[in-house]
Amino acid sequence: MTPTRRDFVRAALAAPFLTAGLRAQEAIGSPFPGLIVRAHEPRNLEFPVSELRDPIIPNEQFFVRSHFAVPPVDVKSWRLKVEGAVERPFELTYEELTKLRSRRLTATLECAGNGRVHLTPPVPGLQWGQGAVGNAEWSGVPLAAVLDKAGLKNTAVEVILE
């Protein structure tokens, strides 16, 4: 396919934005190799689209969008308590949770603010390029399995995570 004049202009206009994130990363110094640091606290990391080679992005390179600081978690004292509109309220330790049957799922996740650097008029906030999207393989215990174990009542209408 031969590029059109429109393709050329689009690429030329995008070029400064592609390198701006890399310059910001070099200036800040990244403890997250290969990711563009949009903010340290709260942590906001963008995958450099120019590095996209495979359909699946490794989890350690997946974008991170945080509105608040990540709270410290002590896995020895952490508990998951399931209560409310359930037949069998219960509590799990982190270790017990990891022993439940997990599932692997390949999914695409995109931040609603992906590409906001290109919006006209400009919008406030972190100026994400195109790297707040990706396919990854995720694994863990499905929420449905935990709720099934508790026996949801018919009166349950929502799940609240605290």
> What are the tens digits of pLDDT across the range 113-143?
999 999 999 999 999 999 999 999 999 999 9
- Phi and psi at 28, nearest 5°, equal -80, -35
Residue 28 has pLDDT above 70, yes or no: no
Q: What does the domain layout of the chain look like in residue ranges?
A: 5-150
Exposed e or buried b for every residue in 142-153, given b needs 16+ CB within 10 A?
eeeebeeebebe
Residue 6 has pLDDT above 70, yes or no: no
Amino acid at 141: V
Model pTM greater than 0.75? no
Alpha carbon distance 130, 142 (integer Å): 29
Q: Around 24, how many Cα atoms within 13 Å sit in the side-chain half-sphere? A: 20
Residue 48 CB neighbours (<10 A): 17
- Establish whether the linkage from the previous residue to 121 is cis, with ω within 30° of 0: yes
| Yes or no: domain 5-150 corresponds to CATH 3.90.420.10 | yes
Per-residue pLDDT, 8: 40
Alpha carbon distance 105, 84 (integer Å): 29
Helix (H, G, I), strand (E, B) or coil at 65: strand
Burial class (CB in 10 A: 0-12, 13-18, 19+), 36: buried
Residue 89 has pLDDT above 60, yes or no: yes
pLDDT digits (tens, 9 = 90+) for 45-86: 999 999 889 999 999 999 999 999 988 999 999 999 999 999
